[in-house]
Amino acid sequence: MQPSAKVNQRIARISAHLCPFNLQTDETSILRRENCRTKGGSSGFKVAILGAAGGIGQPLAMLMKMNPLVSVLHLYDVVNSPGVTADISHMDTSAVVRGFLGQQQLGSALTGMDLVIIPAGVPRKPGMTRDDLFNINAGIVKTLCEGIAKCCPHAIVNLISNPVNSTVPIAAEVFKKAGTYDPKRLLGVTMLDVVRANTVVAEVLGIDPREVDVPVIGGHAGITILPLLSQVKPPSSFTPQEINYLTDRIQNGGTEVVEAKAGAGSATLSMAYSAAKFADACLRGLKGDAGIVECAFVASEVIELPFFASKVRLGRTGVEEIYPLGPLNEYERMGLEKAKKELAASIAKGISFIRK
């Protein structure tokens, strides 16, 4: 290769991640797209974030760029993704970053991905319930999942878009219609509930939150969020007053943030942290690491409902084992019965959105 050609190729590699589909070159040019792939610094997995320019998407993109298991990071949104891509791409970590803008580039953003993370949608505002978000976010999730079914049907899907209790059933119905549904590969991200539970329990116990593990079952909204304080690690006992306080804080953590931000948004930073933590667990499972156990909202037979959040073991195929709930005390059994009613309605609403 001539020196000038080498220079052109190196320049192309540097710039290709910023506008990979807008290079105006002819078929014989050294800058053809197949020659413009930025060199990855390490082997790893290909990850796409759909909704990467949003309040959750931007910090999540930064955290995934920092993950050594990620070799290629695709950032998709309907607005502002080129700017976020340019910004994130300057971080000196090994993952290659590429940006994709608008629905016409959704297929390119998804092709070849191992893990797709979906924080896309509108945030909750003061006075809004997660159910208020349904009509907008349901349509967004439907469109994105249709793209996944077409372009990367075997990818693990981490669904964050609220209301998760309804959007996961929506995604499942979309994949069923397309003939690509694999319940092991569709996971609703409820990690934020676990993160909050670990934090507030650690406050009461006076220990490091990283030493605490609180199973959180049910769903991802209000009373459907049920922390199993009887199963906390390290083993701990709580007074009835402490149980009421802790359960309320965990169930209403999202509302606490929405009200504190006073119209400026919802839980974006803690959600991004939680999503990145859960995505890392999925990637370690894909890599073949053993003993990766987290809580997630998945297709389940743990109880009579078709979807439920509980502890699952992650592996190369996604969800490889769903654990039973274990012994519940009377307070938790009562909480579970309350959660079931609301959860059943939310699941049915998601399913009917696609089947209607």
Q: Where are the alpha helices (DSSP H) in the chain?
A: 3-16, 57-65, 81-89, 106-110, 134-151, 164-178, 191-205, 240-251, 253-261, 269-287, 330-355
Q: Is 147 annotated as a binding residue?
A: no
Can you tell me the distance from the alpha carbon of 47 to that of 283, in angstroms, rounded to the nearest whole number? 9
For residue 56, say whether it is annotated as part of any ligand binding site. yes
291 marked as binding residue: no
Question: 55 a known binding residue?
Answer: yes
**Residue 161 annotated in ligand binding:** yes
Task: Tell me how far CA of residue 94 lies from CA of 41, 71, 102, 179, in angstroms.
Answer: 4, 7, 26, 35
Beta-bridge partner residues of 159: 118, 188
Q: Minimal CA–CA distance to 12: which of 4, 87, 59?
A: 4
Partners of 178 in beta bridges: none
Is 284 a known ligand-binding residue?
no
Structure tokens that stand for 144 in this block: 């994105």
The whole-angstrom separation of Cα 125 and Cα 138 is 17
What DSSP designation does 185 have? G
Establish whether 264 is an annotated binding residue.
no
What is the set of active-site residues?
Answer: 220
3-class secondary-structure state, position 204: helix
- Alpha-carbon span 2 to 268, nearest angstrom: 49
SS3 assignment, position 234? coil
Please, what's the largest Cα pairwise distance for the chain?
A: 77
Q: Output DSSP code: residue 211.
A: G
Tell me if 333 is assigned to a ligand binding site.
no
Known binder of ligand: residue 206?
no
Of 340, 271, 354, 277, which Cα lies nearest the Cα of 309?
340
**Is position 98 annotated in a ligand binding site?**
no
- Which amino acid belongs to residue 160? I
Closest CA to 193 of 275, 107, 104: 275
Residue 36 CA to residue 8 CA, distance in Å, equals 10
Q: Does residue 350 have a known ligand-binding role?
A: no
Residue 160, annotated ligand binder? yes
> How many angstroms separate the CA atoms of 106 and 196, rounded?
33
Residue list for the binding site for NAD(+):
51-57, 77, 137, 160-162, 271
Residue list for the binding site for substrate:
124, 130, 162, 196
Residue list for the binding site:
51-57, 77, 124, 130, 137, 160-162, 196, 271
